[in-house]
Amino acid sequence: MTSNNGLPPNCPPDGFGLPQYFYNNSGSCAQQTSFFAGHPLLSVGVGYAVVLGFGAFFAIFTSWLVWLDKRYVGTRQSSEWFNTAGRNVKTGLIASVIVSQWTWAATILQSSNVAFLNGVSGPFWYASGATVQVLLFGIIAVEIKRKAPNAHTVCEIVRARWGTAAHVCFLCFCFLTNTIVTAMLLLGGAAVVTALTGLNVYLASFLAPIGVIFYTLAGGLKATFLASYIHSAIVHGVLVTFVLLVYCFSPSLGSPSAVFNNLEFAASPTRDCRLTNPGQVCGPVEGNYEGSYMTMLSSGGFMFGVVNIVGNFGAVFLDNGYWMSAIAARPSSTHRGYILGGLVWFAVPFSLGSSLGLACLALGLPITVEEASRGLVPPAAAVALMGDAGAVLILIMVFMAVTSAGSAELLAVSSLMTYDVYRTYINPKATGRQILFYSRVFVLSYGLFMGVLAVGLSELQVSLGWMYLVMGVLIGSAVIPITNLLLWKKANAVGAIAGCVIGMISGVVSWITVAAVMYGTVDLKTTGQEAPTLTGNLVSLLVGGIVHVTLSLMYPDHCDYSTTRAIQLVDRDWHSDIPPWEHDESRLKRARHWIVLWGVCLSVVLLALWPLLALPAGVFSLGYFTFWVVIAIAWGVVASAVIIFLPVYENWRGLLLVIDGLFTSDILQEKVDDIGLRLAAIMATIPEAEARYLQYKREINELRHRSSGVPSSEGKSPDQGLEQGQGQQQQQQLQHPGQFQELQVDGHIGQ
């Protein structure tokens, strides 16, 4: 007697995971030894098409967007513009950039891996444990605007406050952070490309950064921001597709109840695991309450959460890219951008991991632990649900993550090399043009180094999971000192340096010692286990902080931040069009209070309140699991809508200028450009002309807004206003332009 599939009725013995069982030549029922079995699902051509095709597309498209911005919006390229994007980026785009920077290959791959290993607790601890850093960094972002408004890099601020020795120390830690992040990006990306297409892993490592290098060279930070928005939109579009597919539309699953029933059976103690091959999971989960995948009472999930929290503080606070994003933000957008970015990013690991990671278990896919550690859980689930189309979507999603976060790392390292090495120690009198030239040189150099680094780590068989867990051991000691840089006026340089060095040494020693004592040997496998990495991460963070705080209390500094406020722009003739009220100290203090309140409260909710409320549930019931899934779906959909449409809404005026310019005669546009150049030449010869022009522009915009009854968002503070009589006078001036022009006698409008 045979089943409809041509297999004996008892193959598989428990009726679970049917597609992965087969009837072998000896007449016995067997299960696949692994999901991928060393055979790529897609052709090499698809790999080239995604890596080179998408790379070329984004290089050309992003460069074109930068050209449009320059031609029709009037943006002028300079070293300040290249490295700071004009310091005038609005909330939506800043949030999009943060999401893009923080969405690594590990975010997509590792979040599903921890769901595969620990169940529902895995993606939650991944998301919450890596969101709080972004929320809390918003406090530092506001302090940058208050205490170092002209800074270009984090190390530039360190040197201004603590001197050369501390500058060199933190420069090393920042370079180490960027190197580790870059390694994880390329290791994860190359592993997925190779597994799905068969493209040589070394070739994939070298080809991935090429497109990023080109558009970063062309447009600097602004190009990176534009590309990040497009990447974020694509990633969130694919995310929503997979979440809805798993829980709503998939024939294999298609509902929370179907996933619940399969997860319940997958971890059942009565499940027949005789055909499970070595390295595959089957039956109850060790360390989870009642062995269930559907519980927050998971020792493995909790330990991963602690490592995740500690390690990721270093990845955010010591990554110059996040400081550059804060520097580039409009002052009124800084605090809102980081809160919004953190909440939107939460959806990527939480919603995606809760769908693809759990789907892999619910479908009974024969993924091995080794395949999972290489980040192959999402591709396996996507292929099982959608076939080749799923593999292509995951490939595109991972490539977007690698290139968008990779471009941020390129500029982070380039700016450190340019401002903190070249300008500080080689050519202190460097001009804006020289800064721009060497910024591009360092972008190209580090882009090539990225490929070499990934190849070297692949040769050493270093995995994405190992790098992720060990990261905090190496950089965690500098987290508290760098936090105190702008938040504690008593923090001193000696304590900062000692904390970084002693903390790192203590962390590494404890990490290796625990691995040797518990497992009897020290290698990549034992040092990547939970206990050694947890110990090393905690020791590094805590010792570094304790040393710094102790020495600072013993020998307190008395910093008034005058040295950080004195940091100068390189392009002295560069003028920001940000309204003066945006830099008002009282407004920035209110922004700081706002970000402290929301950042701390949301962190408490994500790290304490939410998990504590989930603990009494024990093993989730069907109703509770459905509620959990609804939160994941809703968060993913709403976050995707916000990150896709908010930047467009905020920059609608600039988009209209570009569209209008595209449909304007080129001859007319050239004449307008010529007039603009002539006016620029005239203004350059008059010292106060540029400032006076900006004053006119602000006041005229204010008049236009008041005449239409719409409150102005530019020019003057919303907290300020003109008296009613003056407002009526301005409206009359708009109605009688001839009389209005006569009033422009001494350079002051409206007098």
Where are the alpha helices (H) located in 419-492, listed in sequence order? 432-459, 464-475, 479-487
- The domain locations on the chain are 44-653, 665-742
Q: Give the span between the Cα atoms of 725 and 104, in whole angstroms.
A: 56
φ and ψ at residue 558, rounded to 5 degrees: -130, 75
Average pLDDT in the 328-347 region?
Answer: 88
Residue 291 gets the label, from left (phi > 0), alpha (psi -120 to 50) or beta, of left
Q: What is the pLDDT of residue 335?
A: 85
Q: Which residue has the higher pLDDT, 675 or 113?
A: 113
Residue 128 has pLDDT above 90, yes or no: yes
Q: What is the pLDDT of residue 704?
A: 65
Helix (H) or strand (E) segment spanning residue 461: none
Average pLDDT in the 41-50 region?
Answer: 84
Residue 698 has pLDDT above 70, yes or no: yes
Residue 173 has pLDDT above 60, yes or no: yes
Q: Which residue has the higher pLDDT, 55 or 164?
A: 164
Q: What is the pLDDT of residue 714?
A: 44
Average pLDDT in the 317-325 region?
Answer: 90
Q: What is the pLDDT of residue 593?
A: 92
How does pLDDT run across 604-661, given as a tens digit for each residue?
999 999 999 999 988 999 999 999 999 999 999 999 999 998 888 877 776 776 677 6
Q: Give the span between the Cα atoms of 88 and 652, in whole angstroms.
A: 15
Residue 55 has pLDDT above 70, yes or no: yes
Highest mean pLDDT among 51-60, 259-268, 573-582, 739-748: 259-268
Peptide bond into 12 cis (omega under 30): yes
Residue 270 has pLDDT above 80, yes or no: no
Q: What kind of architecture, by CATH, is found in domain 44-653?
A: Up-down Bundle (1.20)
How does pLDDT run across 220-238, given as a tens digit for each residue?
766 777 778 888 888 899 9
Q: Which of 101-110, 196-205, 697-706 comes out lowest in average pLDDT? A: 697-706
Mean pLDDT of the chain: 81
Q: What is the pLDDT of residue 721?
A: 43
Q: Which residue has the higher pLDDT, 204 or 219?
A: 204
Tokens coding 492: 């001193």
Q: What is the pLDDT of residue 163?
A: 92
Largest Cα span, the chain: 102
Q: Give the span between the Cα atoms of 40 and 436, in whole angstroms.
A: 43
Average pLDDT in the 147-175 region?
Answer: 93
Tell me the pLDDT band of 281, cut-offs 50, 70 and 90: confident
Give CA separation, 9 vs 3, 23, 28, 33, in Å: 6, 11, 12, 21
The model carries a pTM of 0.80
Q: What percent of the chain has pLDDT over 70?
A: 79
Tell me the pLDDT band of 191, cut-offs 50, 70 and 90: confident
Residue 730 has pLDDT above 80, yes or no: no
Average pLDDT in the 696-706 region?
Answer: 71
Q: Give the span between the Cα atoms of 174 and 116, in whole angstroms.
A: 33
Q: What is the pLDDT of residue 735?
A: 43
CB atoms within 10 A of CB 294: 26
Q: What is the pLDDT of residue 750?
A: 36
- How many helices (H) and strands (E) would you count in the chain? 32, 2
Residue 32 has pLDDT above 90, yes or no: no
Where are the alpha helices (H) located in 520-621, listed in sequence order? 524-527, 530-554, 562-565, 585-604, 610-614
Give CA separation, 3 vs 14, 29, 51, in Å: 14, 13, 43
Residue 197 has pLDDT above 80, yes or no: yes
Q: Which residue has the higher pLDDT, 448 or 742?
A: 448
Q: What is the pLDDT of residue 269?
A: 81
